[in-house]
Amino acid sequence: DMQTSSRKLDHLQICCNKQVEAGRAGFEDVRLAHAALPELDLNGIRLQTHFLGAELGSPLFIAAMTGGHPATTEVNQRLARVAEKFRLGMGVGSQRAALEHPELEESFTVVRDEAPHAFLCANLGAVQLRDHGAEWAERAVEMIEADALCIHLNFLQEATQPEGDHDARGCLAAIADLCRDFKTPVIIKETGAGISAETARLIWGAGAAAIDLGGAGGTSWAAVEVERTGGDEALKALGQCFLGWGIPTVVSLCEVAGSGPVIATGGVRNGIDIARAIALGADLGGMALPLLRPAMESEEALEQTVRAFLRELRVAMFLTGSGSVRDLAHARTYITGATRQMLGK
Ligand code: FNR
């Protein structure tokens, strides 16, 4: 059956047309210390950075979104072109549908075709990894000649969707088995509920190369699934109950920062948020939803959006006296409000 494939299209359309954001990621609680005397040339600021050995044009990462349905090919093509043009790292959406139905591969292979030099991340769910093992992981990487493999954790979504996998046992062991002798770096990513300090320890212990926090406060998969419940009122109520679930991205970042390479995703909504994330210890700032609507519109719209975010990042770097991403990592922050309370300081 093509259930996985049609679900991918549902998700794209719901995320584009409905209110799927819930809660706060905490970026509004983070203020960067202003440098009134930056002693820099705004136009000379370097956005380039490194991640897992790759050279990237900037720390803006295009988070996993799509592929797996013929109608998603064009969106992935636009995302890939912009990734190539700006030398951005990019993740593709879950490749499960194409692994089950190879005729759907084109919606993913288009990404490598359009972005021959980009740092690309393949994507597979932890449940699929557990059930199909390293063979699927290898096929996912080969499909797009990926530079890294993201294994996503999405048990909030699984628990609130009608066709979800409700048995999470064995995923950590599957991840550890994979990391033991897989040649491609493995990134473990959440998808909107965040990674705690305790979970991060399990993930590093399993041998992962990096963590993508996928914190709460941006796209909420409970909210997405609420839109897909059809007439099932009980399932809808369940999803609504969990709209605010999860560790806000900024809190998750403060718990995980310094323990290994980190991508901060979830509610990153502008260039200042990317700067805030880096100042708090992230290596990259990931965005999904803010890039989706422009990517569904046109390549020009997407390019304009990315340019605006990079300009905001550049100005934030200028105003913190940071000539490079490495300097920005040392910028001082003030943390206020609920974020400060959750961090207990
Ligand atoms: C996603 N995300 C996602 N993640 C993943 O690992 N595999 C996937 O297939 C998808 N699919 C997907 C589709 C759409 C339409 C969206 C908006 C998102 C999750 C995404 O990578 C990210 O972790 C969250 O969306 C949080 O970031 P934002 O949207 O708040 O910037």
> pLDDT 10s per residue in the chain (345 long)?
678 888 888 899 999 999 999 999 999 999 999 999 999 999 999 999 999 999 999 999 999 999 999 999 999 999 999 999 999 999 999 999 999 999 999 999 999 999 999 999 999 999 999 999 999 999 999 999 999 999 999 999 999 887 789 999 999 999 999 999 999 999 999 999 999 999 999 999 999 999 999 999 999 988 998 998 888 999 999 999 999 999 999 999 999 999 999 999 999 999 999 999 999 999 999 999 999 999 999 999 999 999 999 999 999 999 999 999 999 999 999 999 999 999 997
End-to-end CA distance of the chain: 51
Task: State how far the Cα of 339 lies from the Cα of 344, in Å rounded to an integer.
Answer: 9
- The number of C-alpha atoms within 13 Å of 179 and in the hemisphere containing its C-beta is 21
**What pLDDT does residue 246 have?**
98
Three-state DSSP state, 344: coil
What are the helix (H) ranges across 69-147?
73-86, 96-100, 106-114, 126-144
Q: Which atom of ligand 1 is closest in space to residue 287's alpha carbon?
A: 31
Residues in the chain: 345
**What pLDDT does residue 31 have?**
98
**What pLDDT does residue 1 have?**
61
Q: What is the identity of the amino acid at 170?
A: G
Neighbours of 337 (CB within 10 A): 12
Task: State how far the Cα of 270 lies from the Cα of 138, in Å rounded to an integer.
Answer: 34
- Compute, in angstroms, the gap from residue 21 CA to the centroid of ligand 1: 12
- Compute, in angstroms, the gap from residue 12 CA to the centroid of ligand 1: 10
Q: Which atom of ligand 1 is closest in space to residue 290's alpha carbon?
A: 31
Mutate to test the pocket of ligand 1, among 150, 191, 265, 287 (most ligand atoms within 8 A of CB): 191
Question: Which tokens sit at 165?
Answer: 């996998």
- Compute, in angstroms, the gap from residue 40 CA to the centroid of ligand 1: 36
Q: For ligand 1, atom 26, name the residue with the nearest CA.
A: 266
**What pLDDT does residue 163 have?**
79
Q: Which atom of ligand 1 is closest in space to residue 214's alpha carbon?
A: 23
Q: For ligand 1, atom 23, name the residue with the nearest CA.
A: 191
User: Pick from 114, 190, 129, 187: which is nearest to 156 by CA?
Assistant: 190
Residue pair 65/292 in contact (Cβ under 8 Å)? The answer is: yes
230 φ, ψ (degrees, to nearest 5): 60, -125
Q: For ligand 1, atom 21, name the residue with the nearest CA.
A: 64
- Compute, in angstroms, the gap from residue 191 CA to the centroid of ligand 1: 6
Mutate to test the pocket of ligand 1, among 20, 62, 65 (most ligand atoms within 8 A of CB): 65
Q: For ligand 1, atom 22, name the residue with the nearest CA.
A: 191
User: Which residues does a 6 A CB cutoff place in the pocket of ligand 1?
Assistant: 11-12, 15, 63-66, 93-94, 123, 150, 152, 189, 191-192, 214, 218-219, 265-268, 287-289, 292
- Compute, in angstroms, the gap from residue 269 CA to the centroid of ligand 1: 14
CA 231 to chain centroid: 31
Mutate to test the pocket of ligand 1, among 188, 219, 221, 262 (most ligand atoms within 8 A of CB): 219
Task: State how far the Cα of 230 lies from the Cα of 154, in Å rounded to an integer.
Answer: 21
List, in sequence order, every beta strand (DSSP E) within 100-204. 120-125, 148-153, 186-190
ipTM for this model: 0.99
Estimate the crossing angle of helix 126-144 against helix 106-114, to 10 degrees.
Answer: 50
Q: What is the pTM of this model?
A: 0.98
Task: State how far the Cα of 307 lies from the Cα of 314, in Å rounded to an integer.
Answer: 10
Task: State how far the Cα of 295 lies from the Cα of 301, in Å rounded to an integer.
Answer: 7
Q: Which atom of ligand 1 is closest in space to residue 67's alpha carbon?
A: 9
